[in-house]
Amino acid sequence: MKLVRVILSEEAEEAYRHLNEHSEESKIERSILNSIKKKVELIKVNPHYGDPIAKKLIPADYREL
């Protein structure tokens, strides 16, 4: 099986860290964090998960060539 990495943008990474820090005390943060983790696992198992988007429609800030 091919190794799949999920890379977050800076903003998403910051939000993810915030959720990790506050998930113990807040049920909402814990729920959001669990949802994100499930989606990451789905993407790792099936990299073609979701709707395809043409590369030209992806903002340059999110593209890594």
The tens digit of pLDDT for each residue in 19-60 reads: 999 999 999 999 999 999 999 999 999 988 889 889 889 888
What does DSSP assign to residue 32?
A: H
Please determine, for residue 65, whether its predicted confidence score (pLDDT) is greater than 60: no
Q: Which residues contact 25 (CB under 8 A, 6 or more apart)?
A: none
Quick check: pTM over 0.85?
A: no
Q: Which residues contact 49 (CB under 8 A, 6 or more apart)?
A: 42, 43
8 A C-beta contact, residue 34 and residue 16: no
Sign of CA dihedral 65, 51, 2, 35: positive
